[in-house]
C-alpha cells in the first residue's frame, strides 16, 4: 500500500518546490546519503566481522561476556548515540569537564575533536548498527563446519590464509545480509541526520512535508529513495537464500576455539572492550551522567506518562502484530493457498520502507481515502481516526514491522513438519483444536521472543511516531528528539536513558535467541 | 450381498503435476484384511494413502468406507472425521510432547471401539520400554517410527494406513516386529493398508498385494499368485530377480505344456498365460527354476558367483549371451569358479511357465 501510494504520486503533478529542489538539492541529497552509506557500510563491516571472528574462533579473557555484551549496542538508537557524541565532545562538554577536573583549567576546547555533521552521523550509525553484521556473521561462523577449517589446515593454509580463503568467503551471504540490513536502516535513518543537520533524502522528505506542507514532493523524493532501498532489499533477499544453503551442513562439528595468550589476547580483549565501551557504555553513561547532573528535568518531564505511553504503545502494537501474523501464518498453513502466500509476500516488503516514507504515504493515502469517501458517499471524515491517533500509529507500525513478525513466526512454523498437523487431524483433532493443542504450545516461546524483538524495534522507532502520533502524545523517542532539536541535549538525556534501559532489558531477555538463530 | 469394507472406484490420485495414479480400483471385502501396496519409489503410493486418509482430495472417482462415501469429486469428509489412522514414514511426532503423551494423544477417541489396547503391552511389543518420558528429538528414527505406529494403534481406527512402517528399523528387529504386528492386526481384526517397496515384507504381511506401476494398479492378488503368476511383463520385471529368455511354444493344449530353447532344450510345465503352439515368447527364468546337477550333459559357463549366506547365486551365460541366475544351496560341497562349466538338470521342469 505505501509503495503504491508513492508510485502513484510520482506521476502526479509536480509542484514548483519540487522543480526547485530537483535543480538544486536533489543531487546533494543523494550524494550525502551515498557518502553516509559508504562510510557506515565500511565501518560496520570492519567492526562487525572482526568482532564476530574473534568471539567465534578464539578464547581470550571475557570472551563469553563480549559474546552477548556486543549485542547491547542494539539498545542505543543512532540518534541517541549522536546526542551522546555531541554532548561529550562539544565545547564545554563532558570531555572538557573531565579534563578540567583532571588537569585544572585550560584551553581544551581547541584540542577536543568535534564529531558533528557528516562524520558524526557516520560514527553514530556505525556504532549503533554494527550489531546486525556482528550477529549474522557470528551465526554463520558458528554454523560453519569445523571440517572446512580442518581441510584448509590439512591443505597447508596458515590461519590467516584460511580466514581469507575459506572462512570469510563462506560467511559471505551472512555478511551481505547483515550489511544490507545496515544499509536499509542507514538510508531510512531520520533522527541522526536531522540532528546533525545533514541534508539527505529522509530529511528532505520530512522537511518538504513539514516546512513546505508539500506532500507531493515528499512522495516524489520517497520514490527515489524507495528505488535505492528496494534494490538493496532484493540483494538482501537473494543473499539470504544462499545463506540457508550454506548453513545446512551435515557434518556439523562445533569448532574448538583457539586459546590466545599474551600480546594477542591483550589486543583482542582491548578491541572488544573498546567496541563494547564505545557502542554501549559510552552513550549510556553520558546519558546517565547528564540525567543526574541536571535533576531539574526530572520535574519537567512527565516520567509517568512517558513510560506509560511508550510501554502501552509497544505492548499494543506487538500484540496486534504478533496475533495477526500468527493467525495469517496459521491460515496459510491450513489452506496452502498460493494466493494468500503471495499476498503475504507482497505485504512483508514493508520493512524495507523507511519510516519517514511510510508515515508520509500513510497520510497521503488516508487523506485521499477520506476525501473520496466524503465526496462520494457523504461519510464523515475518517482522517481523524487514522491520522494523529493511536490507532493510526499502531496501523503504521503494523505495516512497517509486519515482515519481522510474519517471517519470525513463519520460520518457527517451518520447523514444524506438515505431517505433524496431519497426524493430529488423523487422530481426530479438528484444525482449531490442532492449533490449540499443537501449534500454540509448541510456538509460544518463539512467539514471545518475536514480540520482544518487535518491541525493541518499536521503542527505538522515531519518524513514524513523530509524524503520526496524536497531538501532545510523547514517547521516549519523540521526547528525546524534541528536546534535542531545541538544543536541550541535557533534557534529552532522561528519556534517552529510559529508552536504552527498556530496550537493553528486552535485549537481555532475548540475547540467547538473538545469538543463536537470527 | 454384504457391503465391502473399503471400495475405491475409478479413482485418480494426484501426487504432482507429472505424477498421477489413474483409474485405480481396489476393494477390500473383509474387515481385518491386510493389504500391501508395492511399487517403485515415486509412483504415488504415499499419495494413495494420503487420499484415503483425507489429507488430499481426489479429482475423479470415489472412495467409500463401510458403504459410506468418504471421498469423491464432490464430497470430501475432513480427515479428523474419518477415523482412519495414518502412520507416516518420516517423523511426525509432536515435538513438545513426551513419547508417552504422543502415544496417548489420540487414545481418548473411540471409547466404544470394539477393540482396545493395553498401553503397557503395546509399549512392550514395540520395544519402547524406557522411552516413555523422552522427547521426540531424543529418540532414533526407528524408535520414532514405532512410537508413531503405537500412536496410530491407540487411536483405534477403523482403517489403519502404514507408510513404510519398517523403513528405519534395523533388520533383526524388523522380522520380530513384522511378526508381532501381524499378530496384533489379525487378533484385533484391524483392516490395514500398508505401503512398502520390499516385496518380502509385502508377501509376509499381506492377505492381498497390489502392484502399482506406470500410473496404475497393475495387479491385485494373493502374494503367491503375484509372485508366480504375474499378469504383465512389467510386474514380473518389478518383482523378480529373474531374466527373460526367448523360447518357442511347442505344445500348449495338453495338461503339460512344453517350450523349446535352442540351448537349454525342452522346458516343461504349465503356461500361466496360454499361447498357441509355434508362438515366439519370452519366458521368465527365476533363480529357483533351474536345478544344478554336476552329472548333466547340459553345461553353461559361470560368469559370476554371489555368496548370499543361505545360498549362492551363480550367473550363467548362454551362447546368445543371456545371463541366467541359478540358486544353489550354500551347503553344496564343491564350488564352481568363474569360467568353469556348470551342469543343469534336464529335462527342465518349471511349475509356472510365465511367458509374455
Q: Does A346 touch chain B (CB under 8 A)?
A: no
Q: Label each residue of A367-426 as H, E or C.
A: HHHHHHHHHHHCCCCCHHHHCCCHHHHHHHHHHHHHHHHHHHHHHHHHCCCHHHHHHHHH
Q: Does A338 touch chain B (CB under 8 A)?
A: no
* Contact flag A426-B105 (C-beta cutoff 8 Å): no
Homologous superfamily of the A1-293 domain (CATH): MetI-like (1.10.3720.10)
Half-sphere exposure of A355 (CA within 13 A, CB side): 23
Distance of CA A402 to the CA centre of its chain: 14
Q: Taking the domains of chain A in order of start, what are their residue ranges?
A: 1-293, 295-518
B153 has pLDDT over 50: yes
Q: What's the mean per-residue pLDDT of chain B?
A: 87
Count the Cβ atoms, other than its own, within 10 Å of residue A170. Answer: 19
Q: Which residue of A has its CA nearest to B159?
A: A426
To the nearest whole Å, the CA of B48 is away from the closest chain A CA by 15
What percent of chain B is predicted at pLDDT more than 70?
A: 98
Q: Does A417 touch chain B (CB under 8 A)?
A: yes
Sequence-ordered list of residues with C-beta below 8 angstroms from that of B335, at least 6 positions apart, any chain: B305, B312
A443 closest CA partner among A419, A414, A404, A402: A414
Domains located in chain B, CATH noted: 6-230 (3.40.50.300), 240-353 (2.40.50.140)
* Contact flag A425-B95 (C-beta cutoff 8 Å): no
CB-CB contact of A280 with A72 (8 Å): yes
Q: Does A419 touch chain B (CB under 8 A)?
A: yes
To the nearest whole Å, the CA of A417 is away from the closest chain B CA by 7
Candidate from A416, A419, A441 with C-beta closest to B88: A419
The pLDDT tens digits for A234-270 are 776 676 555 444 444 344 455 667 777 778 888 888 8
CB-CB contact of B163 with B88 (8 Å): yes
CB-CB contact of A456 with A43 (8 Å): no
φ and ψ at A190, to 5 degrees?
Answer: -120, -45
B173 closest CA partner among B147, B142, B202: B142
* Contact flag A425-B92 (C-beta cutoff 8 Å): no
Question: Residue A369 has what pLDDT?
Answer: 79
In a mutational test of the B interface, the residue from A428, A437, A446 whose CB has the highest number of chain B CBs within 10 Å is: A428
To the nearest whole Å, the CA of A413 is away from the closest chain B CA by 12
To the nearest whole Å, the CA of B16 is away from the closest chain A CA by 15
Count the Cβ atoms, other than its own, within 10 Å of residue A445. Answer: 12
The pLDDT tens digits for A63-107 are 888 888 888 888 888 888 888 888 888 766 777 777 777 777 666
Distance CA A68, CA A77 (A): 18
To the nearest whole Å, the CA of A258 is away from the closest chain B CA by 31
Which residues in chain B have Cβ-Cβ distances shorter than 8 Å to A417? 90-92
Q: Which residue of A has its CA nearest to B151?
A: A427
* Contact flag B105-A424 (C-beta cutoff 8 Å): yes
B271 closest CA partner among B290, B292, B286, B250: B250
Distance CA B14, CA B57 (A): 9
The one-character DSSP state at A279 is: I
pLDDT band at residue B223 under the 50/70/90 scheme: very high
In a mutational test of the A interface, the residue from B14, B54, B57, B88 whose CB has the highest number of chain A CBs within 10 Å is: B88
To the nearest whole Å, the CA of B154 is away from the closest chain A CA by 9
Q: Does A441 touch chain B (CB under 8 A)?
A: yes
> Which has the higher per-residue pLDDT, B161 or A147?
B161
To the nearest whole Å, the CA of B163 is away from the closest chain A CA by 12
Question: Residue A246 has what pLDDT?
Answer: 42
φ and ψ at B7, to 5 degrees?
Answer: -135, 120
User: Across the A/B interface, how many CB contacts are shorter than 8 Å?
Assistant: 67
In angstroms, the Cα distances linking A418 to A427, A475, B47 are 15, 42, 15
Coil/strand/helix, residue B307 = strand
Which residues in chain A have Cβ-Cβ distances shorter than 8 Å to B53? 422, 426
DSSP-assigned beta bridge partners for residue B8? B26, B63
Which residues in chain A have Cβ-Cβ distances shorter than 8 Å to B96? 441-442
DSSP-assigned beta bridge partners for residue B221? B209
To the nearest whole Å, the CA of A430 is away from the closest chain B CA by 6
Which residues in chain A have Cβ-Cβ distances shorter than 8 Å to B86? 422-423, 426
Which three three-digit cell numbers place residue B284?
521368465
In a mutational test of the A interface, the residue from B17, B47, B79 whose CB has the highest number of chain A CBs within 10 Å is: B79
To the nearest whole Å, the CA of A361 is away from the closest chain B CA by 43
In angstroms, the Cα distances linking A392 to A202, A360, A399, B11, B225 are 21, 12, 11, 53, 74
Q: Which residue of B has its CA nearest to A418?
A: B92
Query: What burial class does residue A52 get, using C-beta atoms within 10 Å of its C-beta: 0-12 exposed, 13-18 middle, 19+ buried?
Result: buried
pTM over 0.80: no
DSSP-assigned beta bridge partners for residue B253? none
* Contact flag B109-A416 (C-beta cutoff 8 Å): no
* Contact flag A427-B109 (C-beta cutoff 8 Å): yes
Candidate from B50, B84, B94 with C-beta closest to A420: B94
* Peptide bond between residue A148 and the one before it cis (omega within 30 degrees of 0): no
What percent of chain B is predicted at pLDDT more than 90?
A: 24
Cell numbers 497393475: residue: B218
In angstroms, the Cα distances linking B89 to A426, A468, B195, B259 are 15, 53, 10, 45
* Contact flag B95-A428 (C-beta cutoff 8 Å): no
Question: Residue A251 has what pLDDT?
Answer: 44
Count the Cβ atoms, other than its own, within 10 Å of residue A510. Answer: 20
The one-character DSSP state at B207 is: S
φ and ψ at B313, to 5 degrees?
Answer: -115, 115
To the nearest whole Å, the CA of A337 is away from the closest chain B CA by 14
CB-CB contact of A55 with A139 (8 Å): no
Distance CA A409, CA A413 (A): 6
Distance CA A295, CA A343 (A): 51
Which residues in chain A have Cβ-Cβ distances shorter than 8 Å to B65? none
Q: Does A425 touch chain B (CB under 8 A)?
A: yes
Question: Residue A470 has what pLDDT?
Answer: 83
* Contact flag A426-B95 (C-beta cutoff 8 Å): no
* Contact flag B155-A426 (C-beta cutoff 8 Å): yes
* Domain A295-518: top CATH class: mainly alpha
Distance CA B88, CA A423 (A): 8
* Fold match, A1-293 / A295-518: yes
Which residues in chain B have Cβ-Cβ distances shorter than 8 Å to A422? 50, 53, 55, 79, 86, 88, 92
In a mutational test of the B interface, the residue from A427, A436, A438, A440 whose CB has the highest number of chain B CBs within 10 Å is: A427
Rg of chain B on CA atoms, in Å? 24
* Contact flag A423-B78 (C-beta cutoff 8 Å): no
Which three three-digit cell numbers place residue B67?
458403504
φ and ψ at B235, to 5 degrees?
Answer: -60, -45
Count the Cβ atoms, other than its own, within 10 Å of residue B272. Answer: 19
Task: Encode chain A (518 residues) as per-residue pLDDT tens digits.
Answer: 555 555 555 444 444 555 555 656 777 888 888 899 999 999 999 999 989 888 888 888 888 888 888 888 888 888 888 888 888 887 667 777 777 777 776 666 666 677 777 888 898 999 989 988 888 888 878 776 566 666 766 776 777 777 777 777 778 878 887 888 888 888 888 888 888 888 888 888 777 777 666 667 777 777 777 777 777 767 766 765 554 444 443 444 556 677 777 788 888 888 889 888 888 888 888 888 888 777 776 666 677 788 888 888 889 999 998 898 888 888 888 876 666 666 666 555 666 677 777 787 788 788 777 777 777 776 666 666 777 788 888 888 888 888 778 878 887 887 787 888 888 888 888 888 888 888 888 888 888 888 888 888 888 888 888 888 887 788 888 888 888 887 777 778 888 888 888 888 888 887 776 666 44
To the nearest whole Å, the CA of A432 is away from the closest chain B CA by 11
DSSP-assigned beta bridge partners for residue B352? B270
Distance CA B47, CA B15 (A): 6
To the nearest whole Å, the CA of A426 is away from the closest chain B CA by 5
Distance of CA A339 to the CA centre of its chain: 30
* Contact flag A428-B90 (C-beta cutoff 8 Å): no
The pLDDT tens digits for B98-113 are 999 999 888 877 666 7
Candidate from B81, B82, B90 with C-beta closest to A419: B90
- Using a CB–CB cut-off of 8 Å, the residues of B that contact A are 50, 53-55, 78-86, 88, 90-96, 105-106, 109, 148, 151-152, 155
The pLDDT tens digits for B90-144 are 778 888 889 999 998 888 776 667 778 888 889 998 999 999 899 888 888 889 9
In a mutational test of the B interface, the residue from A423, A424, A433, A441 whose CB has the highest number of chain B CBs within 10 Å is: A423
Q: Which residue of A has its CA nearest to B93?
A: A420
* Contact flag B106-A427 (C-beta cutoff 8 Å): yes
| Cα three-residue angle A35-A39-A41, rounded to 5 degrees | 115
DSSP-assigned beta bridge partners for residue B344? B292
* Contact flag A423-B90 (C-beta cutoff 8 Å): no
* Contact flag B55-A441 (C-beta cutoff 8 Å): no
Amino acid at each position: 500500500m505505501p509503495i503504491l501510494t508513492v508510485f502513484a504520486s510520482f506521476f502526479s503533478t509536480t509542484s514548483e518546490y519540487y522543480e526547485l529542489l530537483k535543480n538544486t538539492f536533489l543531487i546533494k541529497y543523494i550524494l550525502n546519503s551515498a557518502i553516509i552509506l559508504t562510510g557506515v557500510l565500511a565501518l560496520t563491516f570492519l567492526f562487525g566481522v572482526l568482532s564476530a571472528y574473534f568471539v567465534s574462533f578464539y578464547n581470550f579473557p571475557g570472551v563469553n561476556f563480549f559474546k552477548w555484551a556486543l549485542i547491547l549496542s542494539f539498545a542505543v538508537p543512532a540518534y541517541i548515540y549522536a546526542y551522546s557524541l555531541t554532548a561529550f565532545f562539544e565545547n564545554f562538554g563532558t570531555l572538557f569537564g573531565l579534563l578540567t577536573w583532571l588537569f585544572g583549567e585550560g584551553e581544551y576546547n581547541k584540542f577536543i575533536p568535534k564529531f558533528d555533521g557528516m562524520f558524526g552521523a557516520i560514527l553514530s550509525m556505525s556504532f549503533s548498527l554494527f550489531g546486525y553484521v556482528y550477529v549474522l556473521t557470528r551465526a554463520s561462523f558458528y554454523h560453519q563446519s569445523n571440517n572446512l577449517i580442518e581441510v584448509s589446515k590439512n591443505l597447508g593454509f596458515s590461519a590467516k590464509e584460511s580466514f581469507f580463503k575459506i572462512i570469510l568467503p563462506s560467511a559471505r551471504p551472512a555478511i551481505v545480509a547483515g550489511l544490507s540490513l545496515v544499509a536499509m536502516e542507514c538510508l531510512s535513518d531520520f533522527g541522526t541526520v536531522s540532528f546533525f543537520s545533514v541534508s539527505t533524502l529522509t530529511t528532505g522528505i520530512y522537511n518538504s512535508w513539514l516546512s513546505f506542507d508539500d506532500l507531493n514532493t515528499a512522495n516524489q523524493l520517497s520514490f527515489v529513495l524507495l528505488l535505492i532501498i528496494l534494490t538493496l532489499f532484493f540483494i538482501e533477499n537473494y543473499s539470504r537464500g544462499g545463506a540457508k544453503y550454506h548453513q545446512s551442513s551435515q557434518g556439523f562439528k562445533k569448532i574448538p576455539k583457539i586459546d590466545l595468550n599474551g600480546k594477542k589476547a591483550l589486543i583482542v580483549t582491548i578491541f572488544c572492550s573498546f567496541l563494547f565501551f564505545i557502542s554501549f557504555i559510552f552513550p549510556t553513561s553520558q546519558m546517565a551522567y547528564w540525567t543526574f547532573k541536571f535533576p531539574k528535568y526530572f520535574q519537567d518531564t512527565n516520567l509517568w506518562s512517558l513510560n506509560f505511553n511508550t510501554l502501552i504503545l509497544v505492548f499494543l502494537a506487538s500484540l496486534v502484530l504478533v496475533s495477526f501474523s500468527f493467525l495469517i501464518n496459521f491460515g496459510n498453513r491450513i489452506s496452502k493457498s498460493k494466493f494468500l502466500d503471495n499476498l503475504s509476500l507482497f505485504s512483508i516488503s514493508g520493512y524495507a520502507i523507511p519510516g519517514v516514507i511510510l508515515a508520509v504515504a500513510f497520510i497521503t493515502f488516508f487523506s485521499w481515502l477520506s476525501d473520496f469517501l466524503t465526496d462520494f458517499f457523504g461519510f464523515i471524515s475518517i482522517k481523524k481516526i487514522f491520522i494523529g491517533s493511536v490507532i493510526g500509529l499502531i496501523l503504521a507500525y503494523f505495516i512497517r514491522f509486519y515482515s519481522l513478525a510474519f517471517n519470525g513466526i513463519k520460520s518457527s512454523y517451518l520447523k514444524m513438519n506438515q505431517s505433524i498437523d496431519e497426524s493430529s487431524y488423523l487422530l481426530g483433532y479438528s484444525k482449531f483444536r490442532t492449533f490449540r493443542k499443537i501449534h500454540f504450545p509448541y510456538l509460544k516461546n518463539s512467539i514471545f521472543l518475536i514480540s520482544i524483538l518487535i518491541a525493541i524495534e518499536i521503542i527505538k522507532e522515531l519518524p513514524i511516531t513523530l509524524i503520526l502520533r496524536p497531538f501532545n502524545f510523547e514517547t521516549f523517542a519523540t521526547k528525546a528528539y524534541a528536546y534535542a532539536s531545541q538544543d536541550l541535549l541535557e533534557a534529552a538525556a532522561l528519556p534517552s536513558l529510559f529508552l536504552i534501559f527498556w530496550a537493553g532489558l528486552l535485549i537481555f531477555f532475548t540475547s540467547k535467541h538473538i545469538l543463536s538463530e537470527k | 450381498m454384504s457391503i465391502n469394507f473399503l471400495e475405491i472406484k475409478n479413482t485418480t490420485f494426484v501426487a504432482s503435476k507429472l505424477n498421477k495414479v489413474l483409474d485405480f480400483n481396489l476393494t477390500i471385502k473383509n474387515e481385518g484384511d491386510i493389504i500391501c501396496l508395492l511399487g517403485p519409489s515415486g509412483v504415488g503410493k504415499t499419495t494413495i494413502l494420503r487420499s484415503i486418509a483425507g489429507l488430499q482430495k481426489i479429482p475423479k472417482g470415489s472412495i467409500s468406507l463401510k458403504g459410506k462415501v468418504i471421498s469423491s469429486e464432490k464430497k470430501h469428509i475432513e480427515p479428523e472425521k474419518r477415523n482412519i489412522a495414518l502412520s507416516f514414514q518420516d517423523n511426525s511426532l509432536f515435538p513438545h510432547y513426551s513419547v508417552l503423551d504422543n502415544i496417548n494423544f489420540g487414545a481418548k477417541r473411540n471409547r466404544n471401539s470394539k477393540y482396545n489396547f493395553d498401553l503397557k503391552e503395546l509399549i512392550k511389543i514395540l520395544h519402547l520400554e524406557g522411552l516413555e518420558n523422552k522427547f521426540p528429538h531424543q529418540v532414533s528414527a526407528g524408535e520414532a517410527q514405532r512410537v508413531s505406529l503405537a500412536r496410530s494403534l491407540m487411536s483405534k481406527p477403523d482403517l489403519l494406513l502404514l507408510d513404510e512402517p519398517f523403513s528405519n528399523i534395523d533388520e533383526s528387529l524388523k522380522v520380530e516386529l513384522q511378526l508381532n504386528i501381524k499378530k496384533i492386526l489379525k487378533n484385533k481384526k484391524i483392516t490395514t493398508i500398508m505401503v512398502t517397496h520390499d516385496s518380502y515384507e509385502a508377501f509376509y504381511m499381506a492377505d492381498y498385494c497390489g502392484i502399482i506401476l506406470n500410473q496404475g494398479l497393475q495387479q491385485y492378488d494373493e502374494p503367491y499368485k503375484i509372485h508366480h503368476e504375474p499378469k504383465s511383463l512389467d510386474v514380473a520385471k518389478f518383482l523378480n530377480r529373474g531374466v527373460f529368455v526367448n523360447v518357442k511354444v511347442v505344445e500348449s493344449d495338453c495338461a503339460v505344456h512344453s517350450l523349446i530353447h535352442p540351448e537349454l532344450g525342452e522346458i516343461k510345465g504349465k503356461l500361466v498365460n496360454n499361447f498357441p503352439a509355434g508362438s515366439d515368447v519370452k519366458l521368465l527364468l527365476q533363480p529357483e527354476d533351474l536345478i544344478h546337477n554336476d552329472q548333466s550333459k547340459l553345461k553353461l559357463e559361470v560368469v559370476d558367483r554371489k555368496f548370499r549366506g543361505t545360498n549362492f547365486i551363480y550367473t550363467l551365460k548362454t551362447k546368445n549371451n543371456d545371463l541366467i541366475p541359478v540358486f544353489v544351496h550354500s551347503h553344496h560341497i564343491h564350488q564352481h569358479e568363474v569360467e568353469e562349466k556348470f551342469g543343469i538338470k534336464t529335462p527342465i521342469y518349471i511349475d509356472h511357465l510365465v511367458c509374455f
